[in-house]
Structure 1
């Protein structure tokens, strides 16, 4: 796919979720999957690699959407403070981090029923499956630790002190795990053979790293900081390049088929960056989304992007002084990229 000719498909069907299409000022058409309910916060969303379902964190539950039809096919409840969802391969289980419960809940993907609960550190946030170690990696925001879970027996087999607040993590699939440390403005490197910290790499004075993705072909790490994408060599930690992105970014994805980085910016857009080679990167035209759409998921099979958000009342403030979320407006933006 040549992302210079990014087009957002306008052929979406009217679905049972009351889907509507919205024209943006950049001529992008966005399909809106309306979930509704009490908009009490959201974070990550994840696509199951096999069953074509989108799992969306939402306050105290996970909403499950069919990405083909848009149908809301189920919910997983009692996941208070939900952040992330992960799926080990060749398993019928899914794993959900529950930040306010200090645990990871295990559920059966066939029934959507919670089957067990794994105690971890305080405020577990991001979670992903590392194919090298065959373990689940959990970022515990308030205890400055990483919990390593064996999905075969649902137990914590290691706890790693990373010296700061771990926001999210990725693996190179060859024995290294990289962790964004939000309050130290650095990336910590973990040896996935023995689960020890081997390096602390600075982010060239850029602050509050959130989203983190990797290109394992070129050995490039992409860390989203405050209005800046920092690109590092994942072998040496050396700074390769810095590129401006939008404000309020809390997530990023890398499409390894098109060599494109997308950063979801809460101000209401997606920064699009094309990786030409290991040392050459080009900023393409932003995709206009909606305010609050700060996390993102990529469907690798279709190249579709998904971002959760809601509608806001700018005249009213919530308890934190932010624009109040309008009740019943929680939604997911679906963006299709084509040649």
Structure 2
């Protein structure tokens, strides 16, 4: 994930602009609820279990489990070191947590939430994805610049795939292919999940430093959100960048609603950008919704179309040190929340 949360001095202007954008028919989104969950520490990715509908939120040394019906925390998976992402197998048995602080992938039982296995990965496993054709989980290791493929039938490592740079977030097309952003090279790699080979590397210019990634499987489109306030829309057949709609500053996650043909970028400045796929070659920014400063990660529930973002009140940024030249702002204790966005 990001080593530093990028925030702009023009935050107030961005929020004023967001508030001024009118509703556009059925595409208008608004904040429906805010769940004040509290708890100390930072966070990273969050994910919705497609069977139970529970929301899993990574929070450093633990994973919070939240019931969307009540907006309340129902449990935690504890004893972790530095969590980043959560993904799920296709048979409703196991979930997989990338525990970057321990350089392992934790396997947990989705009914009891007990950790049943720890699988060695590369250095700092971060983004992850379940690939359904091969029934494998792929953990992308930010510091060792490779990916670890895990067979979910045996929960063993079946391959380690070298990458051209630091990976950020992956997606799968459901047909045996995985795509992942390479942050420090501003590229996307295409991986064959069956052969464990990188089959293409595509430049994302003019996109710079991509982080979040989403996919439109039906129309073969990828959506990379980038540090220079662009969303790079990429043709998965050719690797060509076909559109670059504008987004907010400090994005760290992307999503795609296949039912409504909408792509989303959650931006740390405190906005959510909504992009309409008018056609496979035309993309229009429909709305910029004011959310909350620090709400840079998100997930979409495909059943309801609701978007869940996480945020907290931020205090001053500590002074830079040689050991930490880009420190994050401090997080105010007890202010952590989930923001629920819907139409």
- Is the Cα–Cα contact under 8 Å of residues 274 and 288 in structure 2 kept in the other structure? yes
> What corresponds to 2:283 in structure 1?
281
> What corresponds to 1:334 in structure 2?
340
In structure 2, the gaps of 5 or more residues are 1-22, 321-325
Once the two structures are TM-superposed, the CA of residue 257 in structure 1 deviates from its matched residue by 0.2
Once the two structures are TM-superposed, the CA of residue 68 in structure 1 deviates from its matched residue by 1.2
Seen in structure 2, the aligned counterparts of structure 1 residues 194 and 130 have a Cα distance that, compared at 3 Å, is: same
- Is the Cα–Cα contact under 8 Å of residues 187 and 202 in structure 1 kept in the other structure? yes
Paired residue secondary structure (1:5): helix
> What corresponds to 2:143 in structure 1?
142
The alignment status of 1:304 with 2:310, answered yes or no, reads no
Once residues 255 and 278 of structure 2 are traced to their aligned partners in structure 1, the CA distance between those partners, rounded to angstroms, is 16
- Equivalences for residues 179-198 of structure 1 within 5 A: 179-198=180-199
- Is the Cα–Cα contact under 8 Å of residues 223 and 231 in structure 1 kept in the other structure? yes
Q: What do residues 80-116 of structure 1 show as CA deviations (whole Å, max 9, x unaligned)? A: 1100001101132111000110001111111111111
Paired residue secondary structure (1:296): strand
> What corresponds to 2:263 in structure 1?
261
- Equivalences for residues 41-120 of structure 1 within 5 A: 41-120=42-121
Once the two structures are TM-superposed, the CA of residue 232 in structure 1 deviates from its matched residue by 1.1
- Is the Cα–Cα contact under 8 Å of residues 296 and 307 in structure 1 kept in the other structure? yes
The alignment status of 1:324 with 2:330, answered yes or no, reads yes
- Is the Cα–Cα contact under 8 Å of residues 165 and 183 in structure 2 kept in the other structure? yes
Once the two structures are TM-superposed, the CA of residue 318 in structure 1 deviates from its matched residue by 6.9
Once the two structures are TM-superposed, the CA of residue 335 in structure 1 deviates from its matched residue by 1.2
- Is the Cα–Cα contact under 8 Å of residues 135 and 153 in structure 2 kept in the other structure? no
Once residues 319 and 296 of structure 2 are traced to their aligned partners in structure 1, the CA distance between those partners, rounded to angstroms, is 18
TM-score, normalised via structure 1 length: 0.89
> What corresponds to 1:17 in structure 2?
none
Q: What do residues 199-248 of structure 1 show as CA deviations (whole Å, max 9, x unaligned)? A: 11000142111011111111111111111101111001112111111000
Once residues 255 and 61 of structure 1 are traced to their aligned partners in structure 2, the CA distance between those partners, rounded to angstroms, is 28
> What corresponds to 1:174 in structure 2?
175
- Is the Cα–Cα contact under 8 Å of residues 318 and 324 in structure 1 kept in the other structure? no
Once the two structures are TM-superposed, the CA of residue 76 in structure 1 deviates from its matched residue by 0.3
In structure 1, the gaps of 5 or more residues are 9-27
Once residues 188 and 163 of structure 1 are traced to their aligned partners in structure 2, the CA distance between those partners, rounded to angstroms, is 8
Once the two structures are TM-superposed, the CA of residue 7 in structure 1 deviates from its matched residue by 4.5
Once residues 196 and 300 of structure 2 are traced to their aligned partners in structure 1, the CA distance between those partners, rounded to angstroms, is 28
From 10, 26, 32, the equivalent of 1:5 is 26
Paired residue secondary structure (2:34): strand
Seen in structure 2, the aligned counterparts of structure 1 residues 53 and 186 have a Cα distance that, compared at 3 Å, is: same
Aligned residues: 315
From 223, 232, 235, the equivalent of 2:234 is 232
Once residues 111 and 321 of structure 1 are traced to their aligned partners in structure 2, the CA distance between those partners, rounded to angstroms, is 37
Once residues 149 and 160 of structure 1 are traced to their aligned partners in structure 2, the CA distance between those partners, rounded to angstroms, is 12
Paired residue secondary structure (1:63): strand
Once residues 214 and 190 of structure 1 are traced to their aligned partners in structure 2, the CA distance between those partners, rounded to angstroms, is 15
- Is the Cα–Cα contact under 8 Å of residues 129 and 172 in structure 2 kept in the other structure? no
CA RMSD of aligned residues (A): 1.6
TM-score, normalised via structure 2 length: 0.88
Q: What do residues 153-187 of structure 1 show as CA deviations (whole Å, max 9, x unaligned)? A: 11110000012111011122223211100011100
> What corresponds to 1:212 in structure 2?
213
> What corresponds to 2:7 in structure 1?
none
- Structure 1 stretches of 4+ with a deviation exceeding 6 A read none
